[in-house]
Amino acid sequence: MAERYKKLKEIADNMWVSDCPVMLYKGVLLHDSQLNQNLLQLGFEAIAKKCIAGIEIAYQGYSLGEELITEGEYSYLDLNLQINDKVGGKSPIYLDDSNARIFHITVKRIFYSDKTTWENDRELQALNRQEELKGKLGDVYEEFRHLYRHQGHGNPIYVPEFKDSHWRCVCGTLNEKDNACRQCSISINQLLSLLDIDMLRQKKLEREQEQKRLAEEEKQRRERKAEEKKIAQKKLRKCFVLLAFVGIFATLAVLGVNKIVLPSMKYQSAVSKLEEGKYDEGLALLRELSSYKDSDKLMKKYALDAIIYYTEKGTYKEALSIADQYHVTDEKAICYLKGLSSIKNNQYPNAFDYLKRCKGYKKTDEKFQWLAYTLGCEEMKNGNLNEAYAYLSEIDSAYQDTAKRQAICKKYMKYCTRWTTIHEYKTNFSFEFKVKVADIEEPEMYFIYYTAEEKIPLPKNNEVTWNDGNRSFDFSKKIYCLKTYVNGKITYQCRIED
């Protein structure tokens, strides 16, 4: 079946007139094949702080020859429009002439929730395209971008514009005068301070000097390593030269090689491999050397380095193997490893316990927050609101919709254990049941669960009866009762409403 609505053209986007509390962020002309009539859909976005209760617009439609052929008015009512809220994107405005292709839109009046109004007779105009900031700032753009994003804002793209009644941010958002950006939250003063060219050039110079200093330090470190390696090789060569002259002391020479030369070679080889990141080979050599020089100390150090390396890489099996082989006792590193490994194996409760014990270590806090939120959501789905609230209380309430879920748990967790037996005859038939919140979007809907894994919705304040031949549920405003018929005997279960 063909679709009912066909898009004929996009009218415009980002249209506005000075001082207007809303902006037209999109407009589209559609054809309704069922009614054989064209319609407009106009989406408006609130850019003012005052709450908007209604919007009244006027439109004029022109033919391709620019002849006025239709006009009218439309109102968006019963709104509670806050800043950044949108309305009208799916509201149809049917036209009495389907030949109109050019449209002029006027926001005539805005009705605020405080009973005040804003009136206007000017048509909306398309906002001009902002100049790109990168071309304007030149070689200091990346420095500005780094500072802007470091403060928690988005991606700066455009040169800001400042007018008497409004301003446009580097992120492209239109804002009321003197208000912080409603998209990236930066204030005008903060933005102007970041756009100080002299400051940006100084920051750029400091960063380049720091990079140069770090590069020089790295160069010196590599040179030291090369020199140390060269000295070690010279020592080895001297050892071999000396061995050529001790034929007469062959037995003593063999003992010297076994206890001094070969361990030294193994030691140097182990250190070299470990510095190259070949942990398995290097650690195996250090284990063979046992108490030679500081082999035990190095083995513990590099075993911990290896665990961290494999954990960050995601190869938890190798990390766990090294922790077991070399008896690594760093509690936070082990908890971090086992926590991430448990996540990979979908053992989320175990992962939660491990990561909770190593908060602040590496990337633990980020993983822990995601994990606690995930477990909280899962427990809510299962109706375990006490457990869900315990998980959600471990994380920042600003994380995703955590605050909303915490509030739902606190409000409804008391219902999770409110079923009780008020009268019971002796019977060999028994089953368990409980109450849960089924859906966050419908928190007033509860369910009975029992061992047959079936469920029955219990709307509040309604009488409902369900019967499969030997069970029925009767409940009224005050009491929800469960009757069970088994061999002529009756068991009552009920939930008493607050």
Considering the domain architecture, whether residues 218 and 172 belong to the same structural domain is answered as no
Task: Tell me if 50 is assigned to some domain.
Answer: yes
Considering the domain architecture, whether residues 208 and 169 belong to the same structural domain is answered as no
> How would residue 491 be classed by pLDDT, with cut points 50, 70 and 90?
very low
- Cβ within 8 Å of residue 290, ≥6 positions away: 296
Report the share of the chain in percent with pLDDT over 90: 28
Considering the domain architecture, whether residues 161 and 54 belong to the same structural domain is answered as no
Name residue 9's beta-bridge partners: 29
Q: What is the CATH number of the domain that holds 102?
A: 2.60.40
Task: Tell me if 470 is assigned to some domain.
Answer: yes
Q: What is the pLDDT of residues 63-109, one digit of tens each?
A: 999 999 999 999 999 999 999 999 999 999 999 999 999 999 999 99
Considering the domain architecture, whether residues 9 and 118 belong to the same structural domain is answered as yes
Task: Tell me if 342 is assigned to some domain.
Answer: no
CA angle 302, 303, 307 (to 5 degrees): 115
Whether 419 has a pLDDT exceeding 50, the answer reads no
Considering the domain architecture, whether residues 62 and 108 belong to the same structural domain is answered as yes
- Cβ within 8 Å of residue 479, ≥6 positions away: 494, 495, 496, 497
- Cβ within 8 Å of residue 19, ≥6 positions away: 118, 120, 165, 166
Task: Tell me if 287 is assigned to some domain.
Answer: no
Considering the domain architecture, whether residues 189 and 240 belong to the same structural domain is answered as no
Considering the domain architecture, whether residues 187 and 212 belong to the same structural domain is answered as no
In 3D, which of 490, 408, 398 has the Cα closest to residue 442?
408
Helices 385-392, 364-381: axis angle to 10 degrees equals: 160
- Domain boundary pick from 81, 99, 126: 126
Considering the domain architecture, whether residues 169 and 70 belong to the same structural domain is answered as no
Give the torsion sign (CA, 380, 381, 387, 393). Answer: negative
Considering the domain architecture, whether residues 26 and 39 belong to the same structural domain is answered as yes
Whether 452 has a pLDDT exceeding 60, the answer reads no
Considering the domain architecture, whether residues 34 and 121 belong to the same structural domain is answered as yes
Task: Tell me if 110 is assigned to some domain.
Answer: yes
The answer to whether the beta carbons of residues 111 and 158 sit under 8 Å apart is: no
- Range with the lowest mean pLDDT among 141-150, 176-185, 193-202, 231-240? 231-240
- Domain boundary pick from 178, 195, 212: 195
Q: What is the pLDDT of residues 28-45, one digit of tens each?
A: 999 999 999 999 999 999
The answer to whether the beta carbons of residues 476 and 485 sit under 8 Å apart is: no
Question: Locate tokens 């770090």: which residue?
Answer: 214
- Range with the lowest mean pLDDT among 152-166, 420-434, 435-449? 420-434
In 3D, which of 410, 406, 382 has the Cα closest to residue 394?
406
Q: Kindly state the average pLDDT of the residues 420-445.
A: 36
Number of structural domains found in the chain: 4
Whether 313 has a pLDDT exceeding 80, the answer reads no
Task: Tell me if 144 is assigned to some domain.
Answer: yes
Q: What is the pLDDT of residues 12-29, one digit of tens each?
A: 788 999 999 999 999 999
Task: Tell me if 285 is assigned to some domain.
Answer: no
Considering the domain architecture, whether residues 441 and 482 belong to the same structural domain is answered as yes
Task: Tell me if 398 is assigned to some domain.
Answer: no
Considering the domain architecture, whether residues 140 and 157 belong to the same structural domain is answered as yes
Q: What CA dihedral angle connects 457, 459, 460 and 462, to 10 degrees?
A: -110
Domain extent, residue 152, equals: 133-195
